[in-house]
Amino acid sequence: MKIAVLSLGCPKNLVDTEYLLGKLNASNVQFTNNVEEADTIIINTCGFIDEAKEESINTILEAVELKDTDNKKIVVTGCLVERYKEELEKEIPEVDLFVDLKNEMQIPEKIGISKVINEPLYKQRVITTPKHTAYLKISEGCDHTCAFCAIPNIRGKHKSRPIPELVEEAKILVDRGVKEINIVSQDTSFYGTDIYGKPMLWELIKELEKIKDLKWIRLFYLYPTTVNEDFIKRIRDSEKVVNYFEMPIQHSEDKILKDMMRGYRRKKIEQILNWKEKYIPDAAIRTSVIVGFPTETEKDFKNLKKFIEEAKFDWLGVFTYSHEEGTPAYEKYKDTVSYEEKIRRKNEITQLQEKISEEKNKSLIGKEIEVLVDGFSEEWETLPVGRTYRSGFEIDGITYIETTEPINPGEFIKVKIKDVIDFVDTVAEEVE
């Protein structure tokens, strides 16, 4: 059996896909990246917001077209199925199997694969990222009830994984060549509260830091309410946690934060930024904001823009509000901001952030810095590319590396930054 597995959405979903690949890999199946060659196409969907749902539906329909000519088997799982399984079964009957999240890891058996090894998923996991970087999903679900978010409805309450299990998975990853572990979850800074009675992220990190050949630990999905002064100091003092963290703020205005049910106000965001400047001024922060929330006025939007201009985040993603059924905002508000207005606001903030990111990168020119080599440029196949501690894999800017010596993915090398291109990327030369 030749199987093509397509993973859509966030890194957390990718980890699920990698677990599923591990289970499939235990049998005699062949994997292919070419869906046209595959006998079976498995699609792990995202169902978080409109754009993600649209991408998932289009991917399914493209697979269905191939089935019309080749009689392939199509299996669809993931968050979209968890939300809309009955509707999908009715609207796209050409799909052979829709599998909800609780049965996702039973797909091999459901498609007739009998040779399955019943050991922990993390021991079988197949890494799809470059072998030197991988995601470690430390928990599932979320206890927050943010007005715009459907995740608690899809993934349920926050459920942490035990520290020993996570450490064992990390050791397996490092034994396979991983140098950088990216910690992901729905609420990373809340980790451990459900099973240990208090946040235990730094206790987990202490154990991860003991893994000899692990060099970088990168933190994603921090929630502002659980980031305090001590948390920032711990980043500063850690030998392996890089000076980078992702912390979605979603907005700057108290009225919108309240309506979004975010549990904090602008003062808390400003506090965190002040602690960052005090203790780790060279740290890079990635954040995200939502524009077009039903109660966001033009004044609120302008204040958000002004805040972003003053805060100078290193990296920022901007999303248009998506009116998701089952969320508190869907029940309470009408989707009053037009699509055109949402796009205008998104574009304005995107253009503003491009200038800020460019300024941040230009400040690095002439500095020597360590880079983790990821691979080679898509445009110039012999030109190595990598990332400094300031960039997360596949989401932030990259560094093009000029060198006379052959270098390989997974190597750490010292470079000198020479120039900035396309706002977010840098060019550097290897330092002898």
* Full DSSP string of 267-297: HHHHHHHHHHHHH-TT-EEEEEEEE--TT--
Q: d(Cα 387, Cα 300) in Å, to the nearest integer?
A: 35
- Residue 175 CA to residue 156 CA, distance in Å, equals 32
pLDDT of residue 48: 84
Tell me, yes or no, if the pTM score tops 0.85: yes
Q: Which pLDDT score is estimated for 245?
A: 97
User: Which residue did the predictor score with more confidence, 23 or 250?
Assistant: 250
> Mean per-residue pLDDT for 37-44?
94
> 380 or 17, which is more confident?
17
Residue with tokens 């049998």: 27
DSSP-assigned states of every residue in 290-342: EE--TT--HHHHHHHHHHHHHH--SEEEEEE----TTSHHHHH----S-HHHH
- Phi and psi of 269, rounded to 5°? -60, -45
- Distance, CA of 417 to CA of 298 (rounded, Å): 39
Q: Is the separation of the CB atoms in 79 and 13 below 8 Å?
A: yes
pLDDT band at 75 (very low <50, low <70, confident <90, very high): very high
What are the tokens at 243? 């000076």
| Band (3; pLDDT cuts 50, 70, 90) | very high
Evaluate if residue 298 carries a pLDDT over 80: yes
Report pLDDT digits (tens) over 152-167: 999 999 999 999 999 9
The pLDDT of 315-319, averaged and rounded, is 97
- Report phi then psi at 190, rounded to 5: -90, -5
Look at residue 260 and tell me whether its pLDDT is greater than 90.
yes
* Average of per-residue pLDDT across 236-244: 97
Domains of the chain: 2-110 (3.40.50.12160), 123-362 (3.80.30.20), 368-430 (2.40.50.140)
Which tens digit of pLDDT belongs to each residue from 193-213? Answer: 999 999 999 999 999 999 999
Q: Is the pLDDT of residue 1 over 90?
A: no
- Residue 432 has what pLDDT? 79
Helix pair angle (229-237, 266-279), 10° resolution: 30
pLDDT score of 112: 86
List pLDDT tens digits, range 374-397: 999 888 878 999 999 999 999 999
For residue 373, how many other CB atoms are within 10 A of its CB?
22
Q: In whole numbers, what is the pLDDT of the chain averaged over residues?
A: 95
CA distance readout (Å), 400 to 199, 362, 377, 414, 421: 39, 15, 8, 13, 10
Residue 27's pLDDT band (cuts 50, 70, 90): confident
